[in-house]
Amino acid sequence: MNSESLKYKSKSFTTGVLINLLLLLIAAACVFPLVWMFGSSLKTQGSVFSDMSLIPRVLHWENYYRAWTEGNFGTYFLNSVIYTVCVVGGIVLISSLAAYAFSRLQFPGKNFFFYMFLAAMMIPLPGSFVPLYVLMERLHLRNTPQGYILCLINVGLSLSIFLLKTFFDRMPKDLEDAARIDGCSKLGIWWNVALPLARPALAVIVIFNSLNVWNEYILALILFDDARFMPLQVGLATFHGEFVTQYHLLMAGVTIAVIPILLIYIFMQKHIVKGLTAGAVVG
């Protein structure tokens, strides 16, 4: 082995080690909050502030039981699951239909309506609390799960329509022509051609909106008076007092709340990566 080749190998080895070290560091920085959260969920309120070890010597698993019961997670957890499924389902259904229409159909005011949807993305949700509250009250939808679900579908539509329209715009027209020759209607093309091709984009929409709905609690607090309709995040707020936060129970609650989102990530990981990288090739 000559010195040039040795030098090259040693250089590439050093670069590899450095890159891997950097990646390990980034990974550790990402994982650390989760480990800290889990470790704190097994401590007492006092030891959260005094015991700096990541995993305490005495494990207080009862924190999970207390978080579940004191935070009324039994009700809230089920509510959050229902809201997430309904809202994400609604968004996928409506946004894919709307995006397909914006992309493929010609109708008066098409651009105007599309830009209106985009403009809706600029309005922060807190800015619309009071009008939304009054509107829901007048429609007799305030303090009802239906009203909350409709509001959240509305919140998620703009970005989802924008993402899917961009996707459909790049879809080759030949595929639709072929489907039309096979006797497909417009709805049939949307169902049989456009939707299957948009699977990676849909995965991104599902994960993005699932996260939003799962973590939402502000609108729920504004719209609901009845505690039995509240989502999971409101249960977490129970441990966050005006002056005192029960960190051990809060962390146990957060750990419980994180599990479904982690499962969605793991379940859809393949599609998400595709969705983020497949933009260039459609069809």
Partner 1 sequence: MSKARLFSLLIVSLIMGVIGCTRAPKAKTDVVIWHWMTDRKKAFNELAKKYEDQTGLRVEFKLFAPSDIYSQKVRAATQAGTLPDIFGILGEKRDFAIFIKAGHVLNLKAAMRAKDSQWKNKFFSKALIVNEFKRGNEFDVPSGIYGVPIDVSNIQMLYNKDLFKKAGLDPEKPPQTFEEFLAAAAKLKTAGIQGLVSGWAEVWMIDCLASNFAFNIMGEKKVMNTFRGEVPYTDPDWIRVFSLFKEMADNGVLAGGIISMNNKDAEQNFANQRYAFTFNGSWCVNVYQGMNPNLNYGVMFVPRVSERHPMLIWGGAGSSFMVNANSENKDKAVAFLKWLTDTEQQAYLAQATNNLPANKLSVANISPILSQFAESMENTTHPNIWSAHEKSPVVEAYTVGIQQIILGTRTPEQVAREVQEVKIREMAKD
Count of Cβ atoms closer than 10 Å to residue 82 Cβ: 13
- Is 246 buried (19+), middle (13-18) or exposed (0-12) by CB count in 10 A? buried
In this complex, which beta carbon is closest to partner 1, that of residue 114 or of residue 179? 179
State the minimum distance, in angstroms, from the CB of residue 223 to partner 1: 9
Give, as ranges, the residues between 106 and 145 that touch partner 1 (CB under 8 A).
126, 129-130, 133-134, 137-138, 140, 142-145
In this complex, which beta carbon is closest to partner 1, that of residue 108 or of residue 196? 196
Q: 282 CB contacts (<8 Å, ≥6 apart)? A: 167, 170, 171, 172, 197
State the minimum distance, in angstroms, from the CB of residue 207 to partner 1: 16
Binding flag, residue 53, partner 1 (CB under 8 A): no
Selected from 49, 65, 265, 267, the binder of partner 1 by CB under 8 A is 49
Number of residues that bind partner 1 (CB under 8 A): 47
State the minimum distance, in angstroms, from the CB of residue 72 to partner 1: 11
Look at the block and give the residue holding tokens 């070890």.
53
Binding flag, residue 69, partner 1 (CB under 8 A): no
List the one residue out of 221, 263, 261, 259 whose CA is nearest residue 238: 221
Q: Which two tokens stand for residue 270?
A: 């393949």
Site stretch for partner 1 (CB under 8 A), options 4-12, 61-69, 174-182, 217-225: 217-225
Give, as ranges, the residues between 143 and 162 that touch partner 1 (CB under 8 A).
143-146, 149-150
Listed in sequence order, the DSSP H helices in 41-72 are: 45-50, 62-70
Is 99:161 a contact under the CB 8 Å cutoff?
Answer: yes
Rounded Cα distance between 91 and 203, Å, is 12
List residues near partner 1 by CB under 8 A. Answer: 45-46, 49-50, 82-83, 85-87, 89-90, 92-93, 126, 129-130, 133-134, 137-138, 140, 142-146, 149-150, 195-196, 218, 221-222, 225-229, 237-244, 246
